[in-house]
């Protein structure tokens, strides 16, 4: 009887993990954790694994070694996924990783994310890469920009930021644009759509907002 | 043994509580820490799980359908050539380092020596087309990063294979896995006569067994990676970026903690290239795919603790030395 309970719990909890992943993909929330290019592969492999695990449990005829630890781990994962619904990484992680991208070398950045010269279609990623490549201030000052992101505060500076994902949440890196210090109406952690132009402030480029519109966090808060 | 596990868990729990306390005292919302920890841990898990399933599938295929003498017959008898072939065989197998662990278990169960399989395990994540391509793409401005990474991986993986060749398999493998290998070997002859339905059931049963063996390690490693990333500030590592010796050490530690898949770690390393010297970046790219929290947890299902400690120390020393040589000689 004890064996049947443990085996049943193991079956239910492992299926719980697989079901969680499949549900996240159907509700388009799996991209909070992994890059979209892995979605098809993830769903396919999890579906096949679910089928194999189900076959094994349904047609099991003899007793086998029970893996209580595995059942417990599966249960923990399923509970975590239920109790902590999908959510983008918070400001705290962005602040922790802010200095990872402060001084990206310009020679590397052109291979990482080449940007066109059409400034009118630049998004936050393009502007962030451009600013981090150390351009001439007079080249960029006066240029208009429209960006959407959350507000990040570091020391006395405010940034509009957005996470970029290369593989999964663990490598998420904040792409940032510094905002003019004359701006005081922005709340840390809130999402905004900001229209403005770049100005030279203390020998560095900052975005001077002309229009600030609070927005809801997008369904896809990350840039891929 | 049971007391040691309890004390280990208590120690980890104390570390977590201390980290949370310090962060809360600094005005950080503990719910943000917990939420980010869960997000990061689940991110690592969901990214690794399909590759682990793929590796388990390949492993079960190897165990059930490839005869031992045929598998061993495809490898050269010469030990040097055998290790070299295993080093580059990762090019043929589309799994990342997580998926290589169950596949390695399958290879060991089929009679390939554990030391040779370690060569495969360490080299395969780096010496494969996807990793080489993404590395060359990320470091297009520094093409020598790619070939230095490959050379470093080849050297370290083969050295490990030679170094561990003096140990017997039973000295390196866990008792549980050694018993599993013996059981698999004894079942080989009877498997050929099974009907198709029976073979599907056997395949499913082996798949489930491997999944249940590896899952606790994968979840534990993912959770630990998430916890450390949210409780240890990144600035702890970046403050030592100017001194090469410390910078190399710092990025090796970061590679160990972050547990990023080898296929995309080059882009993550690129974001640090403005702060750290290239030698430190190289150390990150060489050490990370070989040894990290997630990998060690998975390897623990197969190898004894002292084997893993020995492996980690040697890989660390070799990666560190390689990076230092690159820094001062190239």
Mention every residue, 6+ apart, whose C-beta is less than 8 A from residue A15: A50, A53, A54
DSSP symbols for B207-229: HHHHHHHHHHHHHHHHHHHHHHH
Q: pLDDT tens, position by position, for chain B (330 residues)?
A: 455 555 555 555 666 666 656 555 555 566 888 899 999 999 988 988 998 898 899 888 888 888 777 777 788 888 888 998 988 887 777 677 888 999 999 899 888 999 999 999 999 999 988 899 889 988 888 889 999 999 999 999 999 999 999 999 889 999 989 988 887 666 554 555 568 888 888 899 889 888 888 888 888 888 888 888 888 777 776 677 778 899 999 999 989 988 888 887 888 888 788 778 999 999 999 999 999 988 998 999 999 999 999 999 999 999 999 999 999 987
Of B121 and A137, the one with more pLDDT = B121
Is A170–B141 a contact, with Cβ atoms under 8 angstroms apart? no
Best of B274, B276, B292 to substitute, by most chain A Cβ atoms within 10 angstroms, is B274
Tokens 């990061």 belong to residue? B40
Mutate which: A29, A47, A108, A114, vs B, most B CBs within 10 A? A108
8 A C-beta contact, residue B119 and residue B282: no
Tokens of A136: 């001439």
Question: Does B170 lie at the interface with A, CB-CB under 8 angstroms?
Answer: no
**Residue B137 to residue A76, Cβ atoms within 8 A:** no
Q: Do B207 and A103 touch (CB under 8 A)?
A: no
Split at pLDDT 50, 70, 90, the class of A184 is confident
- Of chain B residues 71-130, which have a CB less than 8 A from chain A? none
User: Can you read off the two tokens belonging to residue A197?
Assistant: 């132009």
Q: Which residue has the higher pLDDT, A20 or A3?
A: A20
C-alpha span between B130 and A100 (Å, rounded): 25
**pLDDT, tens digit, 9 for 90 and up, residues A144-182:** 999 999 999 887 889 999 999 888 888 888 999 999 887
Assess B24–A contact: CB distance below 8 Å, yes or no: no
Global confidence as pTM: 0.81
* Predicted pLDDT of residue B26: 59
Under the banding of pLDDT at 50, 70 and 90, the label for residue A89 is very high
* Strand A191-201, strand A204-215: pairing: antiparallel
Average pLDDT over residues A112-129: 72
**Residues forming a β-bridge with A192:** A149, A214
The rounded distance, in Å, linking the Cα atoms of B262 and B96 is: 7
User: Helical H runs in B232-304?
Assistant: 235-238, 244-258, 265-270, 278-287, 293-299
In chain A the first and final C-alpha atoms are separated, in Å, by 50
- Summarize pLDDT for A30-51 with one digit per residue, the tens: 999 999 999 999 999 999 999 9
Q: What is the pLDDT of residue A107?
A: 36
Contact list, A107 vs chain B (CB under 8 Å): 141-142
Task: Answer for the pair B218, B52: CB distance below 8 angstroms, yes or no.
Answer: yes
Confidence at residue B240, expressed as pLDDT on a 0 to 100 scale: 73
Mean pLDDT, residues A88-93: 90
pLDDT score at B14: 61
Q: Report which of B188, B198, B225 is spatially closest to residue A55, judged by C-alpha positions.
A: B198
B208: contact with A, CB 8 A cutoff? yes
How near does any CA of chain B get to the CA of A131, in Å? 14
Q: Does B236 touch chain A if contact means CB atoms closer than 8 Å? A: no
* Res A193 pLDDT > 70: yes
In chain A, the percentage of residues whose pLDDT exceeds 90 is 37
Contact check, Cβ <8 Å, B271/A10: no
Which pLDDT belongs to residue B73?
77
User: What is d(CA B153, CA B163) in angstroms, rounded to the nearest whole number?
Assistant: 15
pLDDT score of B13: 60
pLDDT(A87) > 80: yes
Q: Is B204 on the interface with A (CB under 8 A)?
A: yes
Cβ contact B23:B30 at 8 Å: yes
Of B29, B261, B274, the CB nearest to A167: B261
pLDDT score for A41:
92
Q: Do A73 and B216 touch (CB under 8 A)?
A: yes
Contacts for A202-208: CB closer than 8 Å, 24+ residues apart: A203/A137, A204/A137, A204/A178, A205/A131, A205/A135, A205/A137, A205/A140, A205/A141, A205/A178, A206/A178, A206/A179, A206/A180, A206/A181, A207/A145, A207/A147, A207/A160, A207/A177, A207/A178, A207/A179, A207/A180, A208/A179, A208/A180, A208/A182, A208/A183
Do residue B38 and residue A84 have CB atoms under 8 angstroms apart? yes
Asked whether this complex has an ipTM greater than 0.90, the answer is no
Decide if B238 touches A, using CB distance below 8 A: yes
Number of neighbouring beta carbons within 10 Å of residue B78: 10
Vertex A206: Cα angle to A204 and A208 (nearest 5): 145
pLDDT of residue A101: 52
Check CB contact under 8 Å for B215 and A74.
yes
> What's the pLDDT score for residue A111?
36
Cβ B228 vs Cβ B293: under 8 Å: yes
**Inter-chain contact A73–B220, Cβ cutoff 8 Å?**
yes
Q: Residue B207 and residue A56: Cβ atoms within 8 Å?
A: yes
Chains A, B: CB pairs < 8 Å: 196
Minimal CA separation from B240 to chain A, in Å: 13
Q: What is the pLDDT of residue A110?
A: 39
Instruction: Calculate the alpha carbon distances from A95 to A12, A160, A163, A169, B25 in Å.
Output: 39, 12, 11, 15, 17
Contact B62, B71 (CB under 8 A): yes
CA distance A197 to A208: 5
- Mean pLDDT for chain A overall: 82
Spatial CB neighbours of A191, under 8 Å, sequence gap ≥ 6:
A148, A149, A150, A214, A215, A216, A217, A218
CA distance A141 to chain B (A): 24
């Amino acid at each position: 009887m004890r064996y049947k309970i443990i085996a049943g719990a193991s079956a239910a909890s492992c299926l719980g993990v697989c079901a969680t992943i499949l549900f996240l993909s159907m509700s388009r929330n799996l991209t909070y954790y992994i890059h979209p290019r892995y979605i098809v592969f993830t769903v396919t492999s999890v579906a096949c694994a679910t089928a194999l695990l189900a076959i094994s449990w349904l047609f099991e005829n003899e007793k086998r070694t029970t893996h209580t630890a595995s059942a417990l781990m599966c249960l923990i994962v399923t509970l975590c996924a239920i109790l902590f619904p999908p959510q983008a990484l918070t400001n705290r992680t962005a602040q922790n990783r802010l200095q990872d991208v402060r001084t990206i070398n310009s020679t590397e950045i052109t291979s990482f994310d080449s940007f066109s010269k059409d400034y009118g279609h630049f998004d936050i990623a393009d502007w962030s890469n451009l600013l981090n490549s150390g351009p001439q201030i007079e080249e960029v000052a006066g240029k208009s920009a429209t960006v959407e992101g959350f507000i990040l505060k570091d020391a006395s500076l405010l940034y509009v930021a957005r996470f970029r994902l290369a593989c999964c949440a663990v490598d998420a890196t904040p792409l940032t644009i510094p905002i003019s210090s004359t701006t005081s109406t922005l709340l840390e952690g809130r999402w905004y759509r900001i229209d403005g132009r770049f100005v030279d402030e203390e020998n560095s480029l900052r975005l001077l907002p002309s229009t600030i519109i609070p927005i809801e966090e997008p369904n896809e808060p990350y840039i891929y | 043994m049971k007391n040691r596990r309890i004390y280990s868990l208590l120690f980890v729990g104390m570390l977590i509580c201390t980290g949370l306390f310090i962060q809360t005292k600094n005005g950080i919302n503990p719910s943000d820490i917990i939420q980010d920890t869960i997000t990061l841990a689940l991110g690592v898990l969901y990214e690794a799980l399909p590759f682990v399933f793929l590796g388990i599938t390949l492993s079960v295929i190897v165990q059930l359908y490839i005869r031992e003498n045929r598998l061993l017959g495809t490898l050269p008898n010469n030990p040097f050539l055998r290790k070299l072939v295993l080093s580059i065989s990762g090019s043929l197998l589309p799994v990342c380092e997580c998926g290589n662990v169950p596949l390695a278990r399958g290879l060991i169960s089929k009679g390939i020596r554990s030391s040779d399989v370690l060569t495969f395990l360490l080299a395969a994540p780096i010496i494969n087309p996807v990793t080489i391509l993404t590395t060359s793409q990320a470091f297009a401005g520094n093409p020598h990063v790619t070939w230095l990474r490959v050379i470093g991986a080849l050297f370290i993986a083969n050295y490990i294979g030679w170094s561990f060749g003096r140990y017997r398999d039973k000295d390196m493998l866990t008792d549980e896995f050694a018993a599993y290998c013996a059981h698999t070997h004894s079942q080989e002859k009877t498997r050929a006569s099974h009907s198709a339905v029976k073979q599907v059931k056997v395949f499913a049963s082996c798949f489930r067994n491997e999944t249940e063996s590896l899952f606790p390690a994968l979840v534990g490693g993912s959770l630990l990676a998430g916890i450390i990333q949210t409780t240890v500030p990144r600035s702890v590592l970046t403050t030592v970026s100017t001194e090469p010796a410390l910078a190399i050490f710092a990025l090796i530690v970061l590679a160990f903690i972050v547990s990023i898949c080898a296929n995309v770690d080059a882009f993550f390393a690129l974001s640090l290239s403005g702060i750290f010297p290239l030698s430190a970046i190289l150390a990150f790219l060489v050490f990370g795919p070989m040894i990290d929290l997630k990998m060690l947890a998975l390897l623990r299902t197969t190898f004894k603790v002292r084997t893993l400690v020995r492996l980690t120390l040697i890989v660390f020393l070799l990666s560190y030395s390689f990076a230092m040589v690159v820094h001062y000689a190239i």
